[in-house]
Amino acid sequence: MKISGIKANNVDLSILADLNAVAKRLANQDSTIWGPNTEAKTRLNWVTLPIKSRELLPILDAISAWSRSYGHEYFILCGMGGSSLAPEVIASTYRKSLVVLDSTDPAQILNSLPGDLSKTLVIISSKSGTTIETQSQFEFYKKKFIDNNLDPLDHIIMITDPGTLFDESSRSAGYKVINADPNVGGRFSALSAFGLVPAALLGVDVSILLDDAEKVSKSFVDLNSPAAVIAAALYSLTDQFIEFSDSNSHTAGLSDWIEQLIAESTGKDKTGRLPVIVEEVSSSASTIKIGFAEGPYDLIIEATLGEQFILWEWVTALLCYLLRVDPFNQPNVTEAKDRTSNILGTKSGDTLTIPPLVFEDTDFAIFSYINLSSISEFIKLSTGYFAVMAYLTRGKDDEIIKIRSLISTKSNVPTTFGWGPRFLHSTGQFHKGGQTNGAFIQITGEIDVDVLIPNKEFTFKQLQMAQALGDAQALSERGLPIIRIHLKNRKKGISRIIAELEKN
């Protein structure tokens, strides 16, 4: 691991001294670090995963051999947040083909279908087994295999915690189930079964990840270790924002994984640190700029993927100690789930207007509690940051990503971008639990072809819209400014938004 930029003498030495002591307690899995009433008592086994996960190696060999015996060539991972982001980074880093399905968008669901189902393995990954997106994706793929005269037991495997209803029902039905350590939280699970099972199935040598993580983690109890210095910097050198860029990095997608880890862990009790993933770093002095290859950054961390995983988990845990928040809970993610269920219960999740309609033409409709007729009017608001939340088709509507940098440049404030509902398990916690100084831009779109969810009373279209409306409701009730732009014509609507923002 090579770290350049910020050093120990750049941060408050008293903070660093405090973290040096806390690091030793963390290595010993002291659950009292963050206070008496946290989830730490049942969430600290990630500290020893570089060693303990070696117990999985025989299981990984066996499941990989089983998969090869069935001729699986196409791998689809259904999972949200911590269940999918680490495998996505691993696949990208090792240049392996993995379709990550962390969406409820009907077109994206259909686009995930491979050309040959007979050579496909679907990995259903859920810690609790109750995640609505993953449950729905499982039902979809199970029916697809049956409709194509294929036995789902030969083409679907499960990763979940032991003893869950999902674990028990899957085993009872005859599916192959790999259990993860229940004392590891989802976003700290990169080196658990959630990260390693998909990696092994793709042909990645996971022992290298574990070796690298184990070796570097031993140094984190040393005086002024990289974990302590970085945590101290993120606490004392910025009040809220951290810019990350994967530019020229050999670990593409790492920033997305870090974004969830930091935002969901720290963003509560009206405090936190918000990662902003950028194409090019800004000139703002209010953010720390972090990269993973040579570039114009305040901090450069060049390391293997195993080293990066364990480093950022330590950094996040130490940062949460300084912020005095529980790193392991996510109260507002649960809130978003509850609101989604309530809207689905109305059976009108695709027609509700939250917020109310304020403008409409042939290409899009705008919904807001603010009287306006364009996105340009909205981004004139005085705010700490903007968040673009796109409930569109990832891989097809990617042109919309351009508006992140355009809004940031035009407004001169940090701007994040997230695909819905993926971001609900990441920055979604921060939006509602962190500093209440954001303004939110939801983008939804007309859907030409809906997809039924077997054994459910709603479709993927209704589920996706319920998730968007539920989140809008939660933000609005906090008095936070929000606009929803509904694209009646996706291609024209996106082009018009971009053209409007490109005007001087």
In a domain, 28, yes or no: yes
Among 169-183, 278-292, 303-317, 406-420, name the one with the lowest average pLDDT. Answer: 278-292
Domain termination residue (choose one: 296, 323, 350): 323
* Residue range 402-426: mean pLDDT, rounded: 96
Q: Are residues 170 and 316 in the same domain?
A: no
Q: Are residues 383 and 490 in the same domain?
A: yes
Kindly tell me if the per-residue pLDDT of 440 is higher than 60: yes
Mean pLDDT score across all residues of the chain? 95
The CATH number of residue 398's host domain is 3.40.50.10490
Kindly tell me if the per-residue pLDDT of 351 is higher than 90: no
CA angle, 502 as apex, 497 and 503 as ends, to 5°? Answer: 105
In a domain, 216, yes or no: no
- 38 touches 326 (CB < 8 A): yes
- Quick one: DSSP state of residue 184? B
Q: What does the radius of gyration of the chain's CA atoms come to, in whole angstroms?
A: 22
Bridge partners, 368 (sequence order) = 483
Selected residue with higher pLDDT from 69 and 336:
69
In a domain, 97, yes or no: yes
Determine the pLDDT at residue 283. 78
Dist. CA 357–CA 371, nearest whole Å: 9
Q: Are residues 398 and 297 in the same domain?
A: no
Q: Are residues 469 and 370 in the same domain?
A: yes
Q: Are residues 146 and 242 in the same domain?
A: no
Domain termination residue (choose one: 209, 239, 255): 209
Kindly tell me if the per-residue pLDDT of 349 is higher than 50: no
Q: How many domains does the chain have?
A: 3
Determine the pLDDT at residue 345. 84
Q: Are residues 113 and 245 in the same domain?
A: no
In a domain, 215, yes or no: no
This prediction has a pTM of 0.96
Q: Are residues 154 and 232 in the same domain?
A: no
In a domain, 214, yes or no: no
DSSP for 25-87 reads HHHTT-TTTT-SSSGGGGTBGGGGHHHHGGGGHHHHHHHHHHHHHTT--EEEEE--GGGTHHH
- Quick one: DSSP state of residue 380? T
Determine the pLDDT at residue 338. 86
Q: What is the pLDDT of residues 126-144, one digit of tens each?
A: 999 999 999 999 999 999 9
Selected residue with higher pLDDT from 347 and 179:
179
Determine the pLDDT at residue 282. 81
What b/e string do you get for 3-41 counting C-beta neighbours within 10 Å, with b at 16 or more? Answer: eebbeeeebeeebbebbbebbeebeebebebbeeebbbe
In a domain, 347, yes or no: yes
Q: How confident is the model at residue 354 (pLDDT cuts 50, 70, 90)?
A: confident
Kindly tell me if the per-residue pLDDT of 350 is higher than 60: no
Is residue 401 exposed (0-12), middle (13-18) or buried (19+ Cβ within 10 Å)?
A: middle
Q: Are residues 311 and 339 in the same domain?
A: no
- 20 touches 223 (CB < 8 A): yes
Kindly tell me if the per-residue pLDDT of 388 is higher than 70: yes
Nearest residue to 228 (alpha-carbon basis) of 102, 325, 317: 317
Q: Are residues 190 and 282 in the same domain?
A: no
- 437 touches 483 (CB < 8 A): no
Q: Are residues 59 and 7 in the same domain?
A: no
In a domain, 183, yes or no: yes
In a domain, 44, yes or no: no
Domain termination residue (choose one: 323, 345, 372): 323
- 106 touches 450 (CB < 8 A): yes
Kindly tell me if the per-residue pLDDT of 123 is higher than 90: yes
Q: Are residues 201 and 132 in the same domain?
A: yes
Q: Are residues 363 and 496 in the same domain?
A: yes
Determine the pLDDT at residue 364. 95
Q: Tell me the two tokens of residue 4.
A: 């350049």
Range of the domain at 85: 49-209
